[in-house]
Structure 1
Amino acid sequence: MSRFLYDYSTLLYLCAGITFVVLITLSSRTRRRYPPGPKGLPIVGNLFDVPTDHGWKRYQEIGKEYGSDIVHFQVFGSHIVVVNTAKAARELLDKRSNIYSDKQRSVMIHELTGWHRNFSLMPYGEGWRTRRRLFHQHFRPMAVPQYHTRQLKAVHGLVQSLFEAPQNYKEHIRFMAGSAILDIIFAFDIQPGDPRIEIVEKGVQTATEFMCSGVYLVDVFPILKHLPSWFPGAGFKRQAAKWKALVDDMHEIPYYQFKQTMREGKAKPCFASTLLSSAAENDEDSLESLDEIFMSLTGTAYVAGSDTTISALNTFVLAMTMFPETQAAAQEELDRVLGRKRLPDFDDRDSMPYLTAMVYELLRWHSVLPLGLPHRTLADDEYNGYFIPAGTVIVGNCWGMLHDDDLFPDPDVFRPERFLNADGTLNSDAHFPIETFGFGRRICPGRYFAQDLLWLTIANVLAACSIERVVDEKGFEVRPTGDMTPRVLSMPEPFECNIRPRFSGAEALVRSACLND
């Protein structure tokens, strides 16, 4: 009997101990504080609090409401943290990039639409690192000057097109960006109507459609991917199949066409030729296994370079129409250096700090991707006493960071002088808008190429053209509202402007430049 009482009391103590440990554990969990944010509803959480349109503005407002530089949402049990300040982004996404560099897996992206090949969307791991390393070799600061001649040729062609049909400036910008990048990637001499540019444009367009479609239910409930495409409610599978055909063509057709020119000995030096030549020492089986990596690189280069350049340059045209005083200041600098006797090239950049400041302000004023591309945490973390669990989606509000009143007074005004000293030289202490290119290990590796192309395009367009407001029937100038499209890839809403030659000899200068390219 005593032995029974002893065993029973031991069991009671054991159960009490386990209960105590469980209570302590649960208590410690309940004491964990998530960053502040809307309270949410049972089960769905903050599903109805996550903004779908102009989210970058709403997230900034929520941050101010809670007095926090990061805010928290929870949707169907998944955590989302929005980072609204450059300080918080540096601390989390840059300094702790070892755990903030993953990507959220998406059934639509990684399984159904073919966008798994885009390495900017790949999960953090060896496959991503291999692609990133190869890409960086060809687009690091010391490498991008090799592309300047081809960039210059495309820009001269753009300015000539603006003279011939200025009302179609959006189409001209799109063609310039696409043809320049295809020339650099594959050495393709693209002319208007070339089917290759149509192929890649259709593929890129699927990304815009996908990003503007919101969240797909299959990404919330992945089991839905097993539904047959004919099943009611499975329209996402039919749409994904259409997109996948276009995305696969974008990656495969130009690449295999170029690979055939390599076999025939007709290929010209370019990004793809360097990749394939470096692998030529491998046997044929090994080379075939590298095709997926190389298609990932060439496809990502096109997608990353085309739509972002197009959006940024359309924003530039809007800014010049809204803020003509900045255009006048840039043109005064161009005339002082060039004397209207030639068009600018990269050798002039050091002599034109205002033009460089204008590029910086363009990147700041409206980011092409105002909310960037989300990251995902690989481990639990803590920031300012707030708990950020592993698997949290991290959204970097680039727009909010670059419209911070403390860093950029009157942030809605386009003002290149923010980046200049009183004597007109570049201010090395000014906050460069690096946030528009992303964060940490996921920062855009093509940013040096992009900045070069933007500078060259802006300098040449302003050297030869005037961008002016339209005049209404009463003779008054019409100032654009400055409205931007509301979703992930954001660019100006339609607006009107006039583009014309600046001076009598501008057209002759451009024709001469095109003949010499």
Structure 2
Amino acid sequence: MYKKAQLPQSESQSITKMMALSLAAAFLASVWAMVSSRLFNRTRLRYPLPPGPKRLPIIGNLRDVNRIDKPLWLAYADWSKIYGDIFYLEILGEPMVILNSAKAIDDIFEKRSANYSDRPPMYMVNELMGWAWDFAHMRYSDRWRLHRKTFHQYFQPRQVPEFYPILRESASSLLTKLLHDPEDFIDHVRHHAGSIILKVVYGHQMQSKNDHYVNLADKAVKGLSQAIAHGSFLVDFAPILSYIPSWFPGATFKKKAEFWAHDSTETRDGPWVELKKSYDVQDNGTSVPCFATYSLEKFKNSKHMEEVIKNCSGVAFVGKVTYDTRGSYLLPPSLTTTLTIAAGADTTVSTISSAILALLLQPEVQTKVQEELDRVVGRSRLPNFDDRTNLPYLEAVLTESLRWNPVSPLSLPHRSMNDDVYNGYFIPSGSTVVGNSWSILHNPEFYPDPLTFIPERFLPKEGKELPPDPSLYVFGFGRRICPGRYLALNSAWIAIAALMATYRLSKRIDTKTGKEIEPVVDYSEGIVWLVQAP
């Protein structure tokens, strides 16, 4: 028997020290190369960079960002009051531009979309955690365009009415579950969103609220939610750090990435394997109609397109059924006071949960919704999509929910592909450009008293123009806007309508004092809201 050879401790420490010095030297060299290339850019010499916090040599605004003690979107909103609607940060030579107004976002992401539809490399998420298959993160390329086109063809607006029977069935199931088990309310909402997307994408019928695939996706997105905001890990600014082995001192980000990468791959591949087994057994023609089988039929015998379809299916699934599980949840009929939504959150679950919290906080709004439903629909049946145009107050509640509690207060990062000049400011090529949706949707100029839930602001008034539609700012921007937003919004609408037609939400009663427990709205780090009890 042979023993594994080991280096003396002193020699091992020497190797580790040499590796650290080599990495530090390579890191500083790469940062200096980026900084110097920007210093001597000719366009840069003619136009100033956007204003922003004072930068230090080499590290730039790294210390400023590290000192932030609130959610990024709130910090950026505060900085915009000092530096304006567009301001500049630089971290280890990597430029960042933050947009805080609707005009700036429209000018940059919409009118100049050809230059701003790229994504930054996102090393932590794509390279280390294995999310490169998600076309929401892909670089702007022919590969991205193919994925986007494949997805959009099935989820475009004119396709959504074909899903109405599935949406109605899921809403009815939600009401039944609430009747028998009200304490697990958020799980039932999650089941509502999950059952819809699994049926639409894979033809999979969920059997229970603890469906294996939904739990799998939820687990995967927990990791994604901690890394998706650009700069959550230093490796996004200094990709050379990705070469550090996971055992190296301080390389905890590599250990996290290795752990999270397994969940990412399994989430995409697990449901697909089951779908393919069923599809192959049923001889490519009699399997359950859904996005996956429709697309496989359309692109028969194409291994390349099969990979694209698998990726698109995974994107739809992960993006529409998951949410963070930190904390407890808001539960009727005697509701607790905590509701948690986090990055990567499902638009359906988020919107429904936000609406419920608002209706709980403002019972007079709940009364108005139910009076409108009684007047238009009556009490002998559930609301249907045919009733939607006749329920303007309910529509206003949904719209205000999107504004008041946006799913993604910060957009996924864009990247400038070429040097640009905007409003006299120079934006270097390769800049990470982030839109602050929260700042736009809480601008008192367009939405007076922005922290208060006021559905009436979206009801037509003679002589007054309606404020901007929040759906223009909560699903991303330009060519990177979320293509699944139509299904998500319809899923949320039918659930809220059915819930308000059958239930009255009330606050939880403190068993010791007999008084109502008031929910408290608070924030958490990440790119979505947290509603938390004291």
TM tier, smaller: 0.7 to 0.9
- Matched position secondary structure for 1:121: coil
CA drift of 1:248 comes to 0.8
8 Å Cα contact 2:370/2:501 also seen in 1: yes
Matched residue SS, 1:129: helix
**Residue 242 (structure 1) aligns with:** 259
Change (3 A) 1:94 1:461: same
Letter of the aligned partner of 2:276 in structure 1?
A: K
Higher-Rg member (1/2)? 1
* Equivalent in the alignment of 1:341: 380
The CA distance in 2 between the partners of 1:75 and 1:395, in whole Å, is 14
- After superposition, where does 1:117-516 map in structure 2 within 5 Å? 117-192=133-208, 193-211=210-228, 215-265=232-282, 267-280=287-300, 282=301, 287-306=302-321, 307-308=345-346, 309-422=348-461, 429-433=466-470, 434-472=472-510, 473-494=512-533
AA at the equivalent of 1:204: V
Tell me how far 1:28 sits from its aligned partner: 6.6
Q: Distance in 2 between matches of 1:275 and 1:206?
A: 30
Tell me the distance in 2 between the aligned counterparts of 1:153 and 1:253: 25
**Cα separation, 2, equivalents of 1:300 and 1:353:** 32
Query: 2:29 matched to which residue of 1?
Result: none
1:298-318 Cα offsets, whole Å, 9 max, x none, are 011112222322222222221
- Secondary structure of the residue aligned to 1:117 is coil
The yes-or-no answer on 1:58 pairing with 2:97 is no
Q: Separation in 2 of the partners of 1:45 and 1:408?
A: 35
What stretches of structure 1 of length at least 5 have no aligned partner? 1-23, 496-517
Look up the SS of the partner of 1:42 in the other structure.
coil
The farther-off stretch of 241-250 and 202-211 is 202-211
Q: Which shifted more, 49-58 or 166-175?
A: 49-58
Q: How far, CA to CA, are the matches of 1:408 and 1:431 in structure 2?
A: 9
Aligned partner letter, 1:448: Y
| Pair 61,209 (structure 1): closer, same or farther in 2 beyond 3 Å | closer
CA distance in 2: counterparts of 1:57 and 1:106, whole angstroms = 23
**Structure 1 residues 369-378 or 53-62, which shifts more?**
53-62
* 1:88-107 paired onto structure 2 within 5 Å: 88-107=104-123
Rounded Cα–Cα distance in structure 2 between residues aligned with 1:380 and 1:202: 39
- Equivalent pair of 1:318/1:482 in contact (CA under 8 Å): no
In 1, the alpha carbon distance for the partners of 2:167 and 2:466 equals 30
Distance 2:486 2:230 in 1: 30
* CA positional deviation for 1:214: 6.1
Distance in 2, Cα, partners of 1:28 & 1:116:
33
Residues 120 and 428 (structure 1), Cα distance of their counterparts in 2 relative to 1, 3 Å cut: farther
Q: Write out per-residue CA displacement over residues 411-468 of structure 1, whole angstroms, 9 at most, x where no aligned residue.
A: 1111111111248xxx984411110111110111111111111111111111111111
Counterparts in 2 of 1:360 and 1:275: CA distance versus 1, 3 Å = same
How far apart are the structure 2 equivalents of 1:121 and 1:479?
A: 39
1:20-55 Cα deviation digits (max 9, x unpaired): xxxx97887445211111113222111132336322
| Structure 1 residues 134-186: Cα deviation after superposition (integer angstroms, max 9, x where no partner) | 11111111011111111111122122222222222122222221222111111
Amino acid at match of 1:457: A
Rounded Cα–Cα distance in structure 1 between residues aligned with 2:87 and 2:40:
25
User: Which shifted more, 313-322 or 140-149?
Assistant: 313-322
Aligned residues of 1:272 and 1:298 also touching (Cα < 8 A):
yes
- 1:279 to 1:95, Cα distance in 2 relative to 1, 3 A: same
Moved more, 54-63 or 373-382: 54-63
Structure-2 separation of matches of 1:315 and 1:304:
18
Q: Distance in 2 between matches of 1:58 and 1:88?
A: 18
Return the alpha-carbon distance in structure 2 between the equivalents of residues 27 and 108 of structure 1.
Answer: 32
Give the SS at the match of 1:142.
Answer: helix
Asked if the contact 1:311–1:491 (Cα under 8 Å) also holds between the matched residues in 2, the reply is no
3-state SS of paired residue (1:395): strand
1:304-355 C-alpha deviation (Å, 9 max, x unpaired)? 2223222222222211111222111111111111221111111110111111
Question: 2-side partners of 1:150 and 1:366: how far apart?
Answer: 27
Give the 3 Å change call, closer, same or farther, for CA 201–238 of structure 1 in structure 2. Answer: same
